[in-house]
């Protein structure tokens, strides 16, 4: 098993510098492929505009037509996320406008799943909307192997994640929850540097065959299911540098970890949670007060099973 991971690290781990933009544009043209970039966004007015502007300026020009469409899916923002994204040049779609017959539930995975219905690219690239000092490498890096390596179907970004001034201390849920789970239960995935990272590109034909956990478990769920669906050699990762973004507080991280554990548990046993809730404690006026949150327990079916999607693909 370890030998398989070491071989994979050698053969399926690259740097963004390995594929210059000129090479990617030529490969895209030769393949006749199209690329969609999706930004799931909830109250990200401070960062979403710059991300959109960088992608449009560096990857959507006549000389570098790497990205064909750029869509921001607003999942219910109360700030100016939609206005800022639109002004920067993105097409903005509200989550609730997609597949209206099926009421939306809160969660990142829900937004990513619905995005398949309003995008058309052969390659779908997901990018979180809270990134700071954004580089177009986050898109070109992960799209690259899908344009140049026909057997690759799923590409994750890898990067350093500083926590304040501390280098490499970001990704606390990854180190405390996801990495141990993967190493113990899916050791073939042990080579992924950022298994929970929100930047990854996937061939549509694979995405539409995978179920989507509706919440924070979506990244782990998609990675594990992709492994079982297409095998390790169809997965890859690309080093894109440094990722800077807004960090969650410890309690939010606890809720994320619970959702990720639930996603893993479901894939291990396809059984029922004993208690699909998480109780945390916050100090109040009279001491520590419990706060109980439901853990995401829903998953959306493969998009290929949705009649509206099938109709759209035929049309």
Domains contained in the chain, number: 1
- What CATH code is carried by the domain that includes residue 9? 3.90.550.10
Two tokens, residue 147: 């344009």
Model confidence pLDDT, tens digit, residues 280-297: 656 677 665 767 777 766
Mean pLDDT of the chain: 90
For residue 123, what are the domain limits?
Answer: 2-314
pTM exceeding the 0.85 threshold for the entire prediction:
yes
Residue 165 pLDDT greater than 70, yes or no: no
Instruction: Report whether pLDDT(172) > 70.
Output: yes
**What confidence tens digit (pLDDT) does each residue in 230-257 have?**
999 999 999 999 887 566 677 888 888 9
Q: Tell me the pLDDT band of 312, cut-offs 50, 70 and 90.
A: confident
Q: What is the pLDDT of residues 10-20, one digit of tens each?
A: 999 999 999 99
pLDDT value of residue 283: 64
Nearest to 73 by CA among 104, 112, 105, 36: 112
Q: Would the pLDDT of 123 be above 70?
A: yes
């Amino acid at each position: 098993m370890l030998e398989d991971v070491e071989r994979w690290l050698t053969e399926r781990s690259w740097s963004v510098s390995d594929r210059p933009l000129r090479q990617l544009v030529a490969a895209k043209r030769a393949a006749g492929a199209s690329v969609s970039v999706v930004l799931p966004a909830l109250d990200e007015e401070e960062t979403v505009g710059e991300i959109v502007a960088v992608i449009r300026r560096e990857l959507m020009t006549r000389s570098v037509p790497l990205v064909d469409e750029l869509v921001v899916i607003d999942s219910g923002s109360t700030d100016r996320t939609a206005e800022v994204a639109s002004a920067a040049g993105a097409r903005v779609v509200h989550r609730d406008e997609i597949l209206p017959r099926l009421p939306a539930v809160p969660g990142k995975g829900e937004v990513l799943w619905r995005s398949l219905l309003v995008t058309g690219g052969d390659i779908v690239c997901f990018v979180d909307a809270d990134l700071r000092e954004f580089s177009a490498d986050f898109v070109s890096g992960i799209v690259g192997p899908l344009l140049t390596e026909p057997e690759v179907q799923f590409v994750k970004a890898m990067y350093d994640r500083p926590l304040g001034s501390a280098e490499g201390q970001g990704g606390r849920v990854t180190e405390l929850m996801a990495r141990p789970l993967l190493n113990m239960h899916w050791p073939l995935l042990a080579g992924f540097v950022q298994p929970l990272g929100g930047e990854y590109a996937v061939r549509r034909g694979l995405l539409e065959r995978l179920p989507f956990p509706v919440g924070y478990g979506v990244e782990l769920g998609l990675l594990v299911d992709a492994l079982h669906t297409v095998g390790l050699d169809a997965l890859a990762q690309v080093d894109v540098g440094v990722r800077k973004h807004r960090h969650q507080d410890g309690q939010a991280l606890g809720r994320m970890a619970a959702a990720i554990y639930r996603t893993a548990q479901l894939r291990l046993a396809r059984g029922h949670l004993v208690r699909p809730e998480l109780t945390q404690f916050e100090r109040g006026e009279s001491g520590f007060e419990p706060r109980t949150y439901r853990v995401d327990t829903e998953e959306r079916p493969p998009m290929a099973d949705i009649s509206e999607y099938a109709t759209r693909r035929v049309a």
